[in-house]
Amino acid sequence: MLVWRCVGHTVVLSLRSFSSWECCFELISLALFLALSLALPLAQEKQYVGFATLPNQVHRKSVKKGFDFTLMVAGESGMGKSTLVNSLFLTDLYKDRKLLNAEERINQTVEIIKHTVDIEEKGVKLKLTIVDTPGFGDAVNNNECWKPITDYIDQQFEQYFRDESGLNRKNIQDNRVHCCLYFIPPFGHGLRPVDVEFMKALHEKVNVVPLIAKADCLTPSEIKKLKDRVRDEIERFGIKVYQFPECDSDEDEEFKQLDKELKECCPFAVIGSNTVVEARGQRVRGRLYPWGIVEVENQSHCDFVKLRNILIRSHMHDLKDVTCDMHYENYRAQCIQDMTSKLTQDNRMESPIPMLPLPTPDVETDRLIKMKDEELARMQDMLNKMQQQIHDGKDQ
Ligand code: GDP
């Protein structure tokens, strides 16, 4: 019998006995094995062009360039906005903040304050911009108190639109707001009129993520009740909060389950803290009370971890994509529409964007093309006649 085994690419043969049938079978198998083992790698090598490295190239380029993200926080003063932002990004963004006393707050109007910080983690750089809105909802009469906020968002879109339409588009500074965390007080029984008005004024300009602030003030059943109520009211008032993208069908079951839990969690009940306390023998970020400790990163205490995962780990890119593809596109389309209608009304008005001249029909070129076509047709006719003559001559 012919025995063969393969060690790497070396085939070892040994002849044990002779039987023509067996030998023939063994030889055919050997031939097949050799053909497959030699031809397959060759075929694979031939098929490999190299574009499989494209994701690596994109990854390298993106890491080199760095990332940016603009987050807006809105809600009444004292709702824990700055504490939450510091807890989310483990940085002190509000070092220079001046706290107003009750008297000063009476006259305070809504301000927009930008804090920018460059953070780096494992070589990946993130330029984080926090847009704070102190004074929002603090007045007795909160009529249109969201106006400075919507104006700010529009201004950023306008700036981007101008830069994009200008000559130098290489180093455009993108200050568009990618997400707005809206803090709902934990003390009420659902949304207040100012909450509804604010979210309705912003939902078509920015990704609104509603939060229940200071969730440690409520028991788990109170949190559930408030969440259900807020969800119902969001639907009833037609507020379009940020929609998490649908999970791909080929994702594994565990991922799908996590995704479902995340979606069901909205509005996120959060707790913030800038202090580290000792709990279960570990140092954790939390709040210490006479009756115990609430841990910011404990998923059974609040939704802080889920919110952080969405903002930073899983949905930051989607938030940016939705801003760019939906909110900015809507603004841009509206802008172009307004400009065109103004132009048609008064065509003497100069457009900020130079209009391309419409192509005018070139009469001379048309005439030449027509002449060439006719010449070609004449030559084709002559050729046909000559062929016919040759054919007739052969027949005679
Ligand atoms: P901001 O005005 O909305 O930025 O609120 P701050 O972050 O300055 O917080 C106001 C006060 O609320 C501070 O004394 C914080 O320590 C406290 N605080 C912040 N977050 C929480 C929270 O989750 N739970 C509780 N109980 N207090 C909080």
Asked if 208 contacts 242 with a C-beta cutoff of 8 angstroms, the reply is yes
Is 272 a pocket residue for ligand 1 (Cβ < 6 Å)? Answer: yes
Is 133 a pocket residue for ligand 1 (Cβ < 6 Å)? Answer: no
- With 50 as the cut, is the pLDDT of residue 371 above it? yes
Q: Where are the extended beta strands (E) located within the chain? A: 2-7, 10-15, 67-74, 113-121, 124-132, 179-184, 208-212, 268-269, 276-279, 282-289, 292-295
Closest Cα to residue 269, out of 199, 314, 220?
220
Q: Which of 77, 83, 113, 182 to mutate to test the pocket of ligand 1 (most atoms within 8 A of CB)?
A: 83
pLDDT for the residue 208: 95
- With 60 as the cut, is the pLDDT of residue 3 above it? no
User: Residue 77 CA: which ligand 1 atom is closest?
Assistant: 2
List the residue whose alpha carbon is closest to atom 6 of ligand 1. 80
User: Residue 75 CA: which ligand 1 atom is closest?
Assistant: 3
Polymer length in residues for the chain: 396
Is 295 a pocket residue for ligand 1 (Cβ < 6 Å)? Answer: no
Distances (CA, A) of 296 to 146, 267, 289, 303: 30, 16, 13, 8
pLDDT for the residue 148: 87
Is 271 a pocket residue for ligand 1 (Cβ < 6 Å)? Answer: yes
Q: Give CA–CA dist 356/138, Å, rounded.
A: 49
Is 137 a pocket residue for ligand 1 (Cβ < 6 Å)? Answer: no
Is 77 a pocket residue for ligand 1 (Cβ < 6 Å)? Answer: yes
Q: Give residue 6's pLDDT band: very low, low, confident or very high (50, 70, 90).
A: very low
pLDDT for the residue 20: 53
Is 186 a pocket residue for ligand 1 (Cβ < 6 Å)? Answer: no
- With 80 as the cut, is the pLDDT of residue 317 above it? yes
pLDDT for the residue 238: 93
- Check residue 396 and report its DSSP letter: -
- With 70 as the cut, is the pLDDT of residue 220 above it? yes
- With 70 as the cut, is the pLDDT of residue 119 above it? yes
How far, in Å, is the centroid of ligand 1 from the Cα of 79?
6
**Average pLDDT for residues 338-344, to the nearest whole number?**
83
**Count of helices and strands (H, E) across the chain:** 12, 11
How far, in Å, is the centroid of ligand 1 from the Cα of 214?
7
Mean pLDDT of the chain: 80
pLDDT for the residue 236: 93
- Check residue 90 and report its DSSP letter: T
The torsion angle over the Cα atoms of residues 146, 191, 321 and 156, rounded to 10 degrees, is 10
Is 135 a pocket residue for ligand 1 (Cβ < 6 Å)? Answer: no
Is 79 a pocket residue for ligand 1 (Cβ < 6 Å)? Answer: yes
pLDDT for the residue 304: 93
Is 86 a pocket residue for ligand 1 (Cβ < 6 Å)? Answer: no
